[in-house]
């Protein structure tokens, strides 16, 4: 069961990250001046790639560290939770 919670958490992060990327894309499209800025273009590429990078890192660590990694926060004693 903790593996499902870990997977759900990662899925939630990917969805949230993609939502931010869409919001950012909308913001960029609202002003063509900002699009001319190299920094904004770099940030745009980073946000668009972020969701898949998070998923890749999770899968890489899952395969390397096994079930303990995928159980994640489920292994923390509840006394440490705020």
Q: Mind listing the pLDDT tens digit for each residue in 63-78?
A: 887 777 767 656 666 6
Q: Mind listing the pLDDT tens digit for each residue in 12-69?
A: 888 888 888 888 888 777 776 666 678 878 888 888 888 888 888 888 888 887 777 7
Structure tokens that stand for 15 in this block: 């969805």
Q: How far apart (Å, rounded) are the C-alpha atoms in residues 58 and 72?
A: 11
pTM: 0.40
Biggest distance spanned by C-alpha atoms of the chain: 51
81 versus 35: the higher-pLDDT residue is 35
């Amino acid at each position: 069961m903790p593996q499902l919670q870990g997977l759900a958490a990662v899925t939630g992060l990917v969805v949230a990250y993609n939502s931010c990327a869409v919001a950012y894309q909308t913001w960029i499209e609202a002003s063509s001046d900002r699009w001319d800025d190299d920094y904004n273009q770099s940030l745009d590429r980073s946000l668009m790639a972020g969701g898949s990078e998070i998923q890749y890192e999770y899968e890489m660590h899952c395969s390397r560290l096994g079930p303990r990694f995928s159980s994640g926060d489920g292994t923390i004693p509840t006394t440490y939770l705020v």
